[in-house]
Amino acid sequence: MKIPLRMGPLSGRLLLFFYGAALAAFAAAPASALDDGQALTPPMGWNSWNKFGCDVNETVIRQAADAMADSGMQRAGYRYVLIDDCWQLSRDAGGNIQADPERFPSGIKALADYVHAKGLRFGLYSDAGDMTCQHRPGSRGYEERDARQYAAWGVDYLKYDWCHTEGVDARTAYKTMSDALRSSGRPVIFSVCEWGQHKPWLWAPELGHLWRTTRDITDCWNCPLKLLGWTNILDRQAGLENYAGPGRWNDPDMLEVGNGGMTTEEYRAHFSMWCMLAAPLIAGNDLTAMDAETRAILTNEEVIAVDQDPLGKQGRRVRSLFGLEVWSKELSGGRRAAALLNRSPWPLRIGTTWKELGLDAPRARVRDLWAKKDLGELPRGYETEVPAHGVVLLLVSP
């Protein structure tokens, strides 16, 4: 079945709605950002949580670093090797945070050194409350001590979670840790993981480099119950576009690509849309056991270049009708990336025009970034069949 998607009165009204939401977001955009010269493009790396959960140890982390270097991930731009929850076990009598000695017998410093020796960067996880989400010691009341310890270990990135924070003011808690990290003297990427509960896009840009916008991602397209699959998270990013920019990124959560719950087409769409959002690209799969399709998705350099474009603009949804969507992302050099996203269970035709993408050009050169194919210089626009639960990603250069 093929249904061409064309502009009608309804899609016109939708367009107005999205432009209205974008204008409202612009009016409320924060003036200041941390502005420390870090994360000028969205951070790229790997985090242990989505695949390994609490089952982490130093071998898992070393092997992830090895695989990042050997698999082409590092060459494609991935830098940060991040241990999520469960590396920490207790505090000593002096209040110093202690790694789990059975799982990390060589200690965190040795692990950070190992990661650094590969030309990669190293990160840890903690929590603004008394305990982490997995009931390990949190940093509340120990912020300066922990930040000093992280700096001594060589930590380059801290993800800071929001469990067990009853009665805590979010902005104050994240400011306390942000200040502690800054006074530690080591440049650290600060990832605000507050799940979007207190609109962190309004206050986190001046404290950190990225902030989670929603609850956790789940590895499914149609998630049961109240779980959030990536399409549900995608819907919650519309309207946040103007808060993102160099050094400050909306974080729709880590990638599920390669974790087994979706088809290759669905993972390609997930990855494409995270790139359209200028989202941090934090892989969450087992890098030591990637199949060729997963590797091809995660390391497609032309698609990654959409995410990493130096303008740092988050893409916008410019049309949405019956699950057929057009997204446009402004790129450097007056170019646009366009995503034709088919959320329906059938292959369907989706088209766009250069005007709809925000280009004032009668003709434009078009390249299909997954097919790696130049489509020529085309007048007005382009229309093509998009696979079910799939995406066609275009680079459009006037």
Q: Give the active site residues.
A: 161, 216
Residue nearest to ligand GLA (CB): 133
Kindly state the smallest distance separating residue 297's Cβ from ligand GLA, in Å: 21
* Nearest partner of 239 among 29, 22, 16, 13, judged by Cα: 22
How many Å apart are CA 62 and CA 105, to the nearest integer?
A: 13
Of 127 and 330, nearer to ligand GLA (C-beta) is 127
* Binding positions for ligand GLA, 165-224, rule CB under 6 A: 193, 216
- One-letter amino acid at 18 equals F
- Is 164:138 a contact under the CB 8 Å cutoff? yes
Contact between 84 and ligand GLA by CB under 6 A: the answer reads yes
379 three-state secondary structure: strand
Tokens of 271: 């990855």
Please identify which residue in 161, 251, 256, 309 interacts with ligand GLA, judged by CB under 6 A. 161
Kindly state the smallest distance separating residue 132's Cβ from ligand GLA, in Å: 6
* Nearest partner of 327 among 319, 335, 313, judged by Cα: 319
**Sole residue written with tokens 């902030």:** 211
Kindly state the smallest distance separating residue 215's Cβ from ligand GLA, in Å: 7
**Sole residue written with tokens 């990427």:** 189
* Binding positions for ligand GLA, 107-136, rule CB under 6 A: 132-134
Kindly state the smallest distance separating residue 216's Cβ from ligand GLA, in Å: 5
How many Å apart are CA 13 and CA 11, to the nearest integer?
A: 5
Of 134 and 263, nearer to ligand GLA (C-beta) is 134
Binding-site size, ligand GLA (CB under 6 A)? 9
Residue 180 half-sphere exposure, CB side, CA atoms within 13 Å? 22
Of 54 and 296, nearer to ligand GLA (C-beta) is 54
Kindly state the smallest distance separating residue 168's Cβ from ligand GLA, in Å: 16
* Binding positions for ligand GLA, 44-63, rule CB under 6 A: 49
Q: How many CB atoms lie within 10 A of CB 232?
A: 18
Kindly state the smallest distance separating residue 97's Cβ from ligand GLA, in Å: 16
How many Å apart are CA 214 and CA 253, to the nearest integer?
A: 8
DSSP one-letter code for 286 = -
Tokens of 37: 């010269």
How many Å apart are CA 90 and CA 99, to the nearest integer?
A: 7
Of 145 and 195, nearer to ligand GLA (C-beta) is 195
Of 242 and 259, nearer to ligand GLA (C-beta) is 259
* Nearest partner of 342 among 297, 386, 276, 385, judged by Cα: 386
Of 34 and 133, nearer to ligand GLA (C-beta) is 133
Binding site for ligand GLA (CB under 6 A): 49, 84-85, 132-134, 161, 193, 216
